[in-house]
Amino acid sequence: MELGRPREFFIGRYIGLKNQLANMPAVTFTRRGTETVLSFYVKDPSTGEIKRRRISDKNPLWDRLLKTANEREALKEQLKTLLEDWNKEYSGSLKEISKEYKIIKQTDSPFNMALWNTMSNNQCSKEIKHPFIYKGIMMRSQFETVIASILDDMHIDYKYDVRLDLSKGTVFPDFSIPFPEYDRCGFLEYLGALSDFGYIVDNVDKIDNYISSGLYVNRDVVLIPGDKYYRPDYETIRELICVLLGAIARKCVVRRESPD
């Protein structure tokens, strides 16, 4: 069995996905004969009765509702994958366990989804002399492609080499991880040349910048160490990723108070 992701990560993501689906219009794909149509419910203005309506791509509402239907399908697929992963790593019903918890968002953090949504891959202007391409993204080292592949295996979304303006200057975290259920994002840094003194000095300044900006190591930023002779193995990388997943989830996922 693979190293398990924290229970709170699964619980928080399940609650977040269910809330997103509940707050979206219930527009779904269905069939009418051989034709794909969109199905949704509307209130009859004359009777107040809720009726099902189906439209084809010839209807002027199609484009707007198609976007919603596609978003719902993507969320449902994420939910399906989450439940499959939970069953591989834990026992019991995630649906039932999640009823015991609620999400408390940390709304005062500037490191939120609005920030994450502005980020894009490869924002660092420093030239990549010998790039390694992973899923169309230009990366600085082969080992970073390994980290990216592990994130993919864990079904964790990410952006690579993003721009982050902090209190003591701009940094470019190797990986930015979104947590939409908490309106937060976190960061992974691969420190791959720790046997080089100049590299260490540069990264001491970077870590100081993170901490001075309220991003703490092993809570908001996780460091993956390496040097000329050492590269962490799969289990170690996965465990370090789980540190980030757990630290942010445990801050926001709390048990509901028992009724008196």
Q: What is the pLDDT of residues 181-200, one digit of tens each?
A: 999 999 999 998 999 999 99
pLDDT at 228 over 90: no
Q: In angstroms, rounded to a whole number, what is the distance separating the alpha carbons of residues 33 and 196? A: 67
Q: In angstroms, rounded to a whole number, what is the distance separating the alpha carbons of residues 216 and 223? A: 11
Amino acid symbol at 259: P
pLDDT at 133 over 90: yes
pLDDT at 45 over 90: no
Amino acid symbol at 4: G
Exposure b/e, 180-198, CB count within 10 A at least 16 = b = bbbbbbbbbbbbbbeeeee
Residues 6 or more apart in contact with residue 12 via CB below 8 angstroms? 101, 103, 179, 181, 182, 249, 252, 253
pLDDT at 46 over 90: no
Q: In angstroms, rounded to a whole number, what is the distance separating the alpha carbons of residues 182 and 180? A: 5
Q: In angstroms, rounded to a whole number, what is the distance separating the alpha carbons of residues 173 and 158? A: 11
pLDDT-derived band at 42, boundaries 50, 70, 90:
confident
Q: In angstroms, rounded to a whole number, what is the distance separating the alpha carbons of residues 211 and 166? A: 10
Q: What is the mean pLDDT of the chain?
A: 93
Give me the pLDDT at residue 3, please.
Answer: 63
Map tokens 């107040």 to a residue.
48
Nearest to 172, CA basis, from 221, 117, 112: 221
Of 4 and 98, which is predicted with more confidence?
A: 98
150-165: pLDDT as tens digits: 999 999 999 999 999 9
Map tokens 């919603």 to a residue.
68
Give me the pLDDT at residue 108, please.
Answer: 84
